[in-house]
Structure 1
Amino acid sequence: MPTNLFLAYDLIHPGQNYHAVQTQIMHLGRWYKLQDSFYYVQTDMDMKAAHDFVRLAMDDSDKLAVIDARNAYVSNLPVGDLVALQQVFVRGPIYVPLPA
């Protein structure tokens, strides 16, 4: 059964390989990038397995939180982001950039 998770991270100097960490998160399953270092993910992995999988792309000093996301309240998100977030598990990965 799929698990819904929030993942948040801080990459600490030296290193900071954002591309590697973001790619690892995207390989967990369906995802939505809520903020620069904050993702909502649906995966077949449990929390510990997802944590350990993402840690493979991180330096020892980097920080990672993996949180069960069965329900959530959000505020001050553009309507387009809310719609995209609701649809992420229907259509697959979506990233909605901020308007220019």
Structure 2
Amino acid sequence: MLSNLIVSYDLHATGQNYDAVIKSIKSLGGWAHIQGSIWYVNSQFNAEQAAKHVWGNMDENDSLIIVDSVKNEAYWYNLANEVSNCIQANWNR
């Protein structure tokens, strides 16, 4: 089953390699650039697999979240603790 992924990222330091991040997002499957740093991807990857793939082109101070609307899952890196806690407390509520 294909996943409908929403990808959102922030690259926090100057001089980041946006091209590598964008290329990794596009390589996940059919895509649409929604706005700024938000993308839609129809992919064979699930949220965790996609996040690990994209995160490989990001720095540890960046942030990333990928939401799979088909499987109702999300996977993220380096979100603020209060954001992460809120998502975990309210997801599937």
TM-score for the superposition, normalised by structure 1: 0.66
Q: Rg larger in 1 or in 2?
A: 1
User: What amino acid is the match of 2:56?
Assistant: L
Structure 1 equivalent of residue 79 of structure 2: none
Structure number having the greater strand percentage: 2
Q: Distance in 2 between matches of 1:21 and 1:69?
A: 21
TM-score for the superposition, normalised by structure 2: 0.71
User: What amino acid is the match of 1:42?
Assistant: N
User: 1:16 Cα deviation (Å)?
Assistant: 1.7
Q: Which residues of structure 1 form unaligned runs of 5+?
A: 71-100
Q: Which residues of structure 2 form unaligned runs of 5+?
A: 71-93
Report whether the alignment pairs 1:56 with 2:56.
yes
Let me know the Cα RMSD of the aligned residues: 1.0
Structure 2 equivalent of residue 38 of structure 1: 38
Q: Provide closer, same or farther for how the CA distance between residues 64 and 21 of structure 1 changes in structure 2, counting only shifts above 3 A.
A: same
| Paired residues, number | 70
**Percent identity (aligned):** 39
